Amino acid sequence: MSANEPHYINTIEALASLVAQLRGAPHLAVDTEFVRERQYYPQLEIIQIATPDVAAILDYRALGSLGPFTDILDDPAILKIFHAADQDLEIFFNLMGRIPTPLFDTQVAAAMVGQGAQIGYSRLVEGLLGVSLTKSQTLTDWTRRPLTLAQIEYALNDVRYLLPVYDRLQEQLEAMGRTEWLDDEWAAMSNPDSYRRVHPREAYRRISGMQRLKPRELALLRELAEWREREAIRRDRAPSLIIRDHLLVELVRQMPDSLSTLKEIRGLHEREVERHGKEILAALQRGGALPRTEWPKLPERNDLSEQQNSLVSLMQSWLRARADEVNIAPHYLATAADLKELVSATPEAQASLGVMRGWRHRLVGMDLLALAEGRAYLAWEPKKGHLRLVHPESIS
């Protein structure tokens, strides 16, 4: 069987047979199709996989579980290759409680060789392989069965070209001496903590506008947000479909104490009051009954001084120039948060920062520190049209 003769797997028996063929493959291209517009958890519909010898669609809706395919996802000898893997990995974490490893993300790798940040799969395939992929099924409904031949071909194209794309990227990474650069990226993507759902008790921290509330109001918001999160989980609905963020904040500010006053909240529909009114009032009452000692507090902001903010801006200017020089997106060298940490950290703490370790330390970390300590300054290169970092001690 070849990649030109795809399998459509919709029984556990067929899946077991496929898994037997996949064992021993060094690389496996993986993609998923799912829906999550209205669900709390993304609803997996199909998994597409490919090796040089096999291409297949696993109909998760029909299978009902990953079954023996988890053995392949867990196999440390098989490199799982994705493009823009975050949502795929979230799905597998929800199903398995762990991340398929080892892994490789062609979108991240492409950024490391100068293809730009967050390049799309079709554009990457066309740029590296000269193949133009159809976009005819971009808005297709993956929940409908049976899948059409056009849907199947479209889905399989998402993995058919991943392996040759991987090969080209590996060649470029090795030629540029950048394979090491990806180690930290894979470690971060493999960290289960990146995919764990926030505890319902902490859901209030994600509510837009919560930063402007006082501690007592935060106590009310915490109860409301926890109720909404648990209700969303129970019904497998997106939290915003239970009640929207801005309405939670408005409820906290107006503090209705009865169903009649609840109905007066602008934007809160009568059907929402009828369905959730008692739970909303109960949550507000719980929050209002809490003693001051149990009110939540936002983490103290570690605001930088005006001088430190100026230094961060200076660093960002040079970082952009350095990123252009090595042909990589600036945020892969250091983010604004990284720079703020660097300028505010003690000398002892600086050594543990990501920008001060490994290849980032060699590429930008040492120079950023020299800039922060006044051992280097920036100069404009008019002929080249960019900034240059100058170390006075190196000038003869």
Q: Look up tokens 């047979």; give the residue.
A: 17
Q: Is 303 a catalytic residue?
A: no
Cis peptide preceding 146, ω within 30 of 0: yes
- Among residues 45, 59, 88, 223, the one annotated as catalytic is 88
Determine contact, residues 18/7, Cβ cutoff 8 Å. Answer: yes
Helix 121-129 vs helix 162-176: crossing angle, to nearest 10: 70
- Among residues 33, 226, 229, 272, the one annotated as catalytic is 33
Exposed, middle or buried: residue 148 (CB in 10 Å: 0-12, 13-18, 19+)?
Answer: exposed
Strands 43-50 vs 55-59: parallel, antiparallel or unpaired? antiparallel
- Among residues 158, 226, 229, 231, the one annotated as catalytic is 158
Determine contact, residues 106/166, Cβ cutoff 8 Å. Answer: yes
Q: Is 245 a catalytic residue?
A: no
> Chain-centre distance of CA 157, in angstroms?
23
Q: Is 348 a catalytic residue?
A: no
Query: At residue 147, what are phi and psi to the nearest 5 degrees?
Result: -70, 145
- The sign of the CA dihedral 262, 266, 272, 274 is positive
Q: Quote the CA–CA distance of 155 and 278 in Å, as a whole number.
A: 46
- What b/e string do you get for 282-302 counting C-beta neighbours within 10 Å, with b at 16 or more? ebbebbeeeeeeebbeeeeee
Determine contact, residues 173/179, Cβ cutoff 8 Å. Answer: yes
- The sign of the CA dihedral 4, 129, 133, 45 is positive
> Chain-centre distance of CA 36, in angstroms?
15
At position 203, the amino acid (one-letter code) is A
Q: Is 33 a catalytic residue?
A: yes
What is residue 220's three-state secondary structure? helix
- Among residues 40, 121, 154, 332, the one annotated as catalytic is 154
Listed in sequence order, the residues at least 6 apart from 282 whose beta carbon sits closer than 8 Å to its beta carbon are 227
- What b/e string do you get for 342-356 counting C-beta neighbours within 10 Å, with b at 16 or more? bbbeeeeebeebbbb
Q: Is 185 a catalytic residue?
A: no
Positions marked active-site: 31, 33, 88, 154, 158
